[in-house]
Amino acid sequence: MTTSAPPWAGQIIQDGVGCHLEGAPDPCVVVIFGASGDLCHRKLMPALYDLFVNHGLQESLAVVGCARTAYDDDQFRELMAQAVAEAGLDLARWDAFARRLFYQPLTYDDPASFAPLRHRLEVIDRDCGGCGNRIYNLAIPPQLYADVARSLSAAGMNQSDGPGWLRLVVEKPFGDDLQSARQLNAALAEGFAEEQIFRIDHYLAKDTVQNLMLFRFANAVFEPLWDRKYVDFVAITAAETLGVEHRAGYYEQAGVLRDMFQNHMLQLLALVAGEAPPNMDAERVRDEKIRLFRCLRPLPADNLDGTLVLGQYAAGRVAGQEVVAYRDEPGVAPGSLTPTFAALRVFVDNWRWQGVPFYLCSGKRLAKKRTSIDIQFKQVPHSLFRQALGEHITSNRLSLGIQPEETITLSIQTKKPGPKLCLRTVGMGFDFRAGGEPMHDAYEKVLLDAMLGDHTLFWRQDGVELCWQWLEPLLRACEACADRGKRLHFYPAGGWGPPQARDVAPLLADRNE
Ligand code: NDP
């Protein structure tokens, strides 16, 4: 649609240009291992139901839940109907979906218990038209990934008897260091080829994250400014108000660096700092990320002053509610030194970004949920208005809101109306919701892409390993040293992290707006 109206801020001027239309996926059966768990309940089942209803998969999708818990089909369907209702979806088409939803109990490390599953899948193929295509979704704790992959292989379920394809979808974490990531991959690779493996980073499937590439490479005006000549620094912030919730067991081992930096934060960095791929072919897009990861300057693990600040939340108030300290959360050790906040200064050693700091910051129990990327441009080279305004003119900033605000804002300087020569900073903005289209959950996108066999939004193993390799000296330095406790700054829940972080998270102070 085109309009003749002038381009007022935030207005959609032309819509749907160059839409990359996804074809319909082949019929397939999605097998969820860990179907009794949280991820299946909160994310996978609502996403599959929504795809079934709104993406024309009524004749082509069947879903089989598997776990140790001894449900039958009806019990599982009832539970999943609750899950879908809790996700706020309309159950009008539930009965049709439920007819294609099944449950098969099994033991993850017992290949013999996979034989009934194999038989069941063949029956479902016949009855529901799955054509032998399978997605095996590992929604189980990571220590079980290798067991399930091996059981699938031992039961002969990693190879298709006919033309059908088999894909293995793996949730993060992909290891907890380089060695374990390699071991996990070796275990998966015993039965599955790299092109069969889809490593999910659901962050990448958010519309606003995908928009990063479109914004950079479909607009001629920004890309020429996107380098060391014009950019002062880049801040990538992922602030959460949530605490550790029910994930203490995992989080105590992982901490914020493993949970957020090795994966989501580095993916955002790659998207904001990487070069343009020659086209949108999945491997070419992933190649550019690899190239960027290779340019990350090694972290000075022997002296982290000015590079890293770690924090852990103390008791405080978030959104008007009293919340306990991390150390008082159920499942957390009373003297835990696990960081729930990190601010890290990173450099990208290449021609484009030499000398430009990238400030990566993420924390739990902060004042506001906000993930954003801010490109801070340099100051004007000379102030014409020195006498009237002094030396300082606020420099431009481009803010890309990822969640929950899904916005693009460019701050610019304009004259404040009136007799005096006076500047004011105003925002030119666009809100993703301006078009009124429904925003889809990222899991819908990743599941659909797995059905379509499109790897663009999934991690490739070389990327996983490069990121661990880069982060590992930092992890070792943080975890091994005797004064580990001294590195950790406690911050009250509901604030913006420890004040010591200001040097490595320069925009945090602005967050109080
Ligand atoms: P859960 O802890 O809910 O576990 C899923 C299922 O696995 C459980 O219902 C249970 O099923 C089985 N299980 C759990 N622990 C064990 C064990 N020690 N031995 C054998 N079986 C066990 O996990 P989630 O659903 O939260 O997460 C699944 C995966 O997805 C994890 O790797 C997680 O890191 C990842 N992930 C989760 C997210 C989330 O929001 N939940 C977000 C991003 C990634 P049963 O006993 O019936 O066999």
231-239/357-363 β-pairing: parallel
Question: Which of the listed residues 38, 103, 143, 144 should we mutate to test ligand 1's pocket, taking the one with most ligand atoms within 8 A of CB?
Answer: 38
Can you tell me which residue has the tokens 């029956």?
A: 123
Q: Binning pLDDT at 50, 70 and 90, where does residue 513 land?
A: very low
For residue 399, what are the β-bridge partners? Answer: 374, 409
Span 207-440+458-508 CATH architecture:
2-Layer Sandwich (3.30)
Asked about 264 being catalytic, the answer comes back as: yes
Q: What percent of the chain has pLDDT over 70?
A: 94
Q: Which residues are annotated as a binding site for NADP(+)?
A: 68, 172
Kindly report, residue by residue over 119-147, the tens digit of the pLDDT.
999 999 988 877 899 999 999 999 999 99
Question: Residue 384: its pLDDT value, please?
Answer: 80
Q: Which of 79-93, 221-235, 293-307 has the lowest mean pLDDT?
A: 293-307
Kindly report, residue by residue over 464-493, the tens digit of the pLDDT.
999 999 999 999 888 876 667 778 999 999
Average pLDDT for the chain:
91
Is residue 32 within 8 A of residue 40, CB to CB? The reply is yes
Mean pLDDT of 249-258: 94
Catalytic residue among 41, 264, 455, 489: 264
Q: Which amino acid is at 200?
A: I
Q: Where in the chain is CATH 3.40.50.720? A: 28-200
Q: In terms of pLDDT, which residue wins out, 20 or 28?
A: 28
Question: Residue 487: its pLDDT value, please?
Answer: 82
| Gap between the Cα atoms of 361 and 373, Å rounded | 10
Kindly report, residue by residue over 38-91, the tens digit of the pLDDT.
999 999 999 999 999 988 888 889 999 999 999 999 999 999 999 999 999 999
Mean pLDDT of 255-274: 96
Spacing, Cα 473 to ligand 1 middle (Å): 29
pLDDT at 343 over 50: yes
How distant, in Å, are the alpha carbons of 151, 208, 226, 390, 445 from that of 431? Answer: 47, 10, 22, 34, 21
Spacing, Cα 34 to ligand 1 middle (Å): 6
- Domain spanning 28-200: which CATH class is it, in words? alpha beta
Q: Binning pLDDT at 50, 70 and 90, where does residue 273 land?
A: very high
pLDDT at 512 over 60: no
Instruction: Name the CA dihedral angle for 146, 153, 139, 75, rounded to a multiple of 10 degrees.
Output: -130
Q: In terms of pLDDT, which residue wins out, 432 or 171?
A: 171
With a threshold of 0.90, tell me whether the complex ipTM lies above it: yes
Spacing, Cα 338 to ligand 1 middle (Å): 21
Query: What angle is formed at CA 71 by the lines to CA 70 and CA 76, rounded to 5 degrees?
Result: 155
Mean pLDDT of 96-109: 97
pLDDT at 206 over 60: yes
Q: Which residues are annotated as a binding site for substrate?
A: 202, 206, 240, 259, 364, 369
Q: Binning pLDDT at 50, 70 and 90, where does residue 17 land?
A: low
Q: Where in the chain is CATH 3.30.360.10? A: 207-440+458-508
Of 367, 449, 410, the residue nearest 200 (C-alpha)? 449
Nearest CA to ligand 1 atom 18: 141
Kindly report, residue by residue over 429-467, the tens digit of the pLDDT.
999 888 777 777 899 999 999 999 999 999 999 999 999
